Structure 1
Amino acid sequence: MTLRYDKLTELLILRFRYKLDVVSAGKNFMKIKKAITAGFFFHAARKDPQEGYRTLVENQPVYIHPSSALFQRQPDWVIYHELVMTTEEYMREVTVIDPKWLVELAPRYFKVADPTKMSKRKRQECIEPLYDRYHEPNSWRLSKRRA
């Protein structure tokens, strides 16, 4: 609850500093989810058929934190804010996304894969990450963020 209050306060300060108008999304939460996806696309994870989730960037096994409202739902695709290591690596602040948004909002990193050139297992995944031009094609990583 305190984190949410701090973020709200931070947003209000930015709004007044830059004299921005308040534009409400109303009850259209898709706009908010798309905005989160656009900013955190590198924190996308997909449901693993065996157990938990796999991050798209590192293919690392992760799980939804038990305190999350999505813990019982286990959606197919999610965006998370941070990973917390306890007995397992848990995703915190998780929201459900549509995988098509990744292609739409981050076309430099994701593209729709050609189903004729994929194995049966890969055909079910729908999107394919692109490699980073600064690394070898078979070991892609996102570029380092500049401070």
Structure 2
Amino acid sequence: GYFTNAAKKDPQEGYRTIVDQNPVYIHPSSAVFNKSPEWVIYHELVLTTKEYMRSILVIDAKWLVELAPSFYQTADPNRMTKSKRMEKIEPLHDRFNPKDSWRLSKRKG
């Protein structure tokens, strides 16, 4: 499973990764470069002038909930607080640091 490597089309520019909301772009060599699908899964990110997704698969967002229910869940937007809707997921691992370099999560309060 590459379900953690999902990205959604950003209205302003490119895509945003689902896990950490980083801006990413479809690599120019991709067959879907000019198609701009709403949701994609990528195999790897390559950093050049921008962070590009490579080996992309176009997906339906419902597939994430169906095939990875322990990672993705549907939420009722009417039952979520405004602060929860605006909350950003912060991963514990920073892929730009060495492999075994983990940070402590932020503590509230």
Q: TM-score range by the shorter chain?
A: 0.7 to 0.9
Which amino acid in 2 is paired with 1:77?
Answer: W
Paired with 2:43 and 2:89, the residues of 1 have a C-alpha distance of 24
Equivalent residues, number: 89
CA-to-partner distance for each residue in 1:38-71, whole Å, 9 max, x for gaps? x100000000011000000111000000010100
Greater RCO, CA 8 A, separation 6+: 2
Say yes or no: does 1:93 pair with 2:55. yes
The match for 1:141 is 91
CA–CA separation in structure 2 for the residues paired with 1:141 and 1:43 = 13
Q: What's the RMSD between the two structures over aligned residues?
A: 2.2
Deviation, 1:115, is 2.3
* TM-score, scaled relative to structure 2: 0.73
Q: Residue 106 of structure 1 corresponds to which residue in structure 2?
A: 68
Identity within the alignment, %: 62
TM-score normalised to the size of structure 1?
A: 0.55
Q: Is the 8 A contact 1:83 1:90 kept in 2?
A: yes
Alpha-carbon distance in 1 for matches of 2:22, 2:4: 13
- State the match for 1:16 in structure 2: none
* Counterpart check, 1:45 vs 2:3: no
Deviating beyond 2 angstroms after TM superposition, the runs of 4 or more aligned structure 1 residues are 137-143
Match among 20, 26, 33 for residue 71 of structure 1: 33
Larger Rg: 1
Higher helix proportion (structure 1 or 2): 1
